[in-house]
Amino acid sequence: MATVVVMPQLGNSVESCLIISWQVKVGDEVAVDGVLCEVETDKASMEVPSTEAGTVLAILWDEGDDVPVKEPLVVVGAAGEDPQPALDAAGWKGKDGEAEEAESAAAPVEAPADEPATSAPASSDQPQAAGSGNAGTSPRARNLASSSNIDINAVPQGSGPGGRVIERDVQAVLAAGGTTLAAARAGALPGQGTGLGGRVATADLGKEAPAEAPQAAPFLTSGAREYPGPSTATPVKGIRKVIAERMMHSLASSAQLTYTSTAKAAGLLSLRKKLKGSPEELGLNKVTIGDLVGFAAVKAAAKNTNHNGHLEDGVFTTFENVHLGMAVDTPRGLLVPTVRNASQMSLREFSTTSKDLAFQAIDGKINPDLLAGATFTVSNLGGFGIESFTPLLNVPQVAILGVDAIFPRAVINDDGTVGAEQRIGFSLTADHRVIDGADAARFLQDLVRYIENIDITVLG
């Protein structure tokens, strides 16, 4: 019996998933827990397993589609079985909310020669809803054709199952120049008109076909180098799009101001060296400079509770426990896992948990729920040699600490001689709506004290 497999809710905060790639096609056999597709949420990439075993009878979405959770994703059943009854039972109305047949391996029903392949009526101002010699059109294809005043019959063959015209086929016609309805009825083809991009307009009808225009030579600069040269255009989507939207929202919705300070790093470097050489059974030999700084930052946030809070809808909420967000550089973009209850952890537990979450984020296997709920965030660019930067708030949080590089700075010794000492920089961005400059200064003073006495800080 055919069964609908739905898009799972991959975390309590996930509302939809973007399909990155299908790992199966119609007709493939799939086992329970077999991978159907790779998806991307607004926070991570992961694989979607099948909850049923059998033959893939229908795939309901295209790569690049944003699929709401709990929506039908594929139909699995016995080979040759009709998937439509299962879709009807699930209330499937098509991904555009219109009733449509599943794009399955079943042979399409051919329309009579004198009727369009779909039920959409033709009119003088509406595109024909069928491609030439194809198995019908999808609602998205019809909508795009209608809004662009394109005759969908200009698509000679659809790329969907059974030759069905889908949205990307209409986009291809548009890219080729497009053909207006009136021009299509007169037999004009894309690329033969005087409209934008060679699009055929009604004014071109009745004109004789112009002689083939000479090809324009590419614009060359001195030395016969082509201008502008090779380039790559990449749509901003998935995690990158979410990051862009959140950063713009962060700047537009808060009053951000950044404060900088430095601390002596000799204690950090000395303790790190001791821990690296400590017995392995103590579990401290893998503690990094970043772990020590993060641990100290948690102490500072726990003391300065107005930095450990959320400002949302005019309500400022401060938290007793620090749930630390860690900015992590991953192949898919910036992710911020949350070390929950970081203020209640020992250094060893904090270090182990931080590394485990970072590895999960980099591998794209992290639970999306662990990418939310932070009350204070640390972003460490010191490893890249950055000496100062302006971190952006992860709203609704009201503070974020940027950790800068350790660098040598000249110092005048007590005896008047000039020397050099290692110092580490900090860049604290705070929301001035609830954190005044003096408050931010006190936070940095406490942080500097914790860092310069790190051997005592880790014992607290």
Domains detected in the chain: 3-89 (2.40.50.100), 109-205 (no CATH), 251-457 (3.30.559.10)
Tokens linked to 397: 């949080």
Predicted local confidence at residue 429, as pLDDT: 98
Tokens linked to 145: 């054709």
Predicted local confidence at residue 159, as pLDDT: 64
Predicted local confidence at residue 332, as pLDDT: 78
Predicted local confidence at residue 386, as pLDDT: 95
Q: What is the mean pLDDT of the chain?
A: 82
Predicted local confidence at residue 153, as pLDDT: 74
Contacts of 121 by beta carbon, 8 Å cutoff, 6+ apart: none
Predicted local confidence at residue 113, as pLDDT: 39
For residue 85, is the peptide bond before it cis, meaning its omega torsion is within 30 degrees of 0?
no
In Å, how far are 45, 73, 188, 321, 369 from 339, measured between CA atoms? 20, 33, 63, 11, 12
Rg (CA), the chain: 30
Cα–Cα distance measured from residue 302 to residue 457, given in angstroms and rounded to the nearest whole number: 13
Active-site positions read: 432, 436
Predicted local confidence at residue 84, as pLDDT: 92
What is the model's pTM?
Answer: 0.64
C-beta neighbour count of 27 within 10 angstroms: 12
Residue 254: name the closest of 427, 441, 395, 400 by CA: 395
Predicted local confidence at residue 210, as pLDDT: 53
Predicted local confidence at residue 213, as pLDDT: 54
Predicted local confidence at residue 400, as pLDDT: 98
| 111 and 117 Cβ atoms separated by less than 8 Å | yes
pLDDT lower than 50: segments of the chain: 99-128, 130-134, 161, 181-182, 184-186, 196, 209
Cα–Cα distance measured from residue 209 to residue 251, given in angstroms and rounded to the nearest whole number: 55
Q: Give the CA-trace dihedral at 209, 210, 214, 219, to 10 degrees.
A: -100
Cα–Cα distance measured from residue 314 to residue 270, given in angstroms and rounded to the nearest whole number: 45
Q: How far apart are the first and last CA of the chain?
A: 62
